[in-house]
Amino acid sequence: MKYIKYILIILIVVNCIFAQKQYSSEEWKKLTVQQRWEAMNLGQEKLDKMSTLELLDHCLNFNFMYDIYNHQNFRQGLEVIYNNHDALRELFDRKDSGKILLNFYNNINQYDIAEIKNLKNRGEFACKIFFLDLFISHPIILKQFQGKEDKLIKSILQTYNICRDVKDRDGKNYYSKYLINTKVLVIGRVLGNVDLRKYQYPAIEDMDLKYLTDELLQKIINNAQQYLEEN
């Protein structure tokens, strides 16, 4: 089934329209791109009052997070939002952000997607997991896990296997191939945090699935499993 691809397109359009309706049409049209980003920022005073978990919740539900899909690759898309949205910068700058992200990630039951009947809600559930994967892949977050990469690899590899199991068990693409394979790129980045020389591939550096070959995918999975066995 390919419906998840079309749901994603609908989600991108709907969320962008909804976000833009926060401002009057005439007002919005007069703003430059930079001014639009500034209009969506929360301001330092509000950010200071938010817990790290609240920041994470905001970013996962931020309508313009879907702008990630409008760029050449996922690394570039995430960087654009990081550079323009103060809440995402604040989240990444928190000293406990890595811990909060991983704890939130581990508490998601990814099997739950099969129980979500509404297609839009199902797509949003999958996209939030995808955003979490990208957040974890960012160098600022990875730095917080130096020397503890095994925790990240174990969690991401487990979710990778669950997503594949859901597909094999139900025969449905609740998690699309690109959502599943993005996890492999994240694992590659975590492994690169240990030894960058072995993982200097365009696919991993740019989080770009166009360059993720079957051979590279299997290499990353095998190396991750070996790393966990040795650590």
Amino acid symbol at 1: M
Cα–Cα distance measured from residue 138 to residue 92, given in angstroms and rounded to the nearest whole number: 9
pTM for the model stands at: 0.88
Is 93 within 8 Å of 59 (Cβ atoms)? Answer: no
The SS3 assignment for 167 reads helix
Q: What is the mean pLDDT of the chain?
A: 87
- From its phi and psi, is residue 163 left (phi > 0), alpha (psi between -120 and 50) or beta? alpha
pLDDT band at 55 (very low <50, low <70, confident <90, very high): very high
Tell me the pLDDT tens digit for each residue of 190-227. Answer: 999 999 888 999 999 999 999 999 999 999 999 999 99
In the chain, what percentage of residues exceed pLDDT 90?
A: 64
Tell me the pLDDT tens digit for each residue of 73-83. Answer: 999 999 999 99
Inform me whether the pLDDT recorded for 170 exceeds 60.
Answer: yes
Tell me the pLDDT tens digit for each residue of 108-156. Answer: 999 999 898 888 888 889 889 999 999 999 999 999 999 999 999 999 9
What pLDDT sits at residue 97? 97
What pLDDT sits at residue 191? 97
What pLDDT sits at residue 122? 87
Tell me the pLDDT tens digit for each residue of 11-51. Answer: 444 444 444 445 556 776 777 778 888 888 999 999 999 99
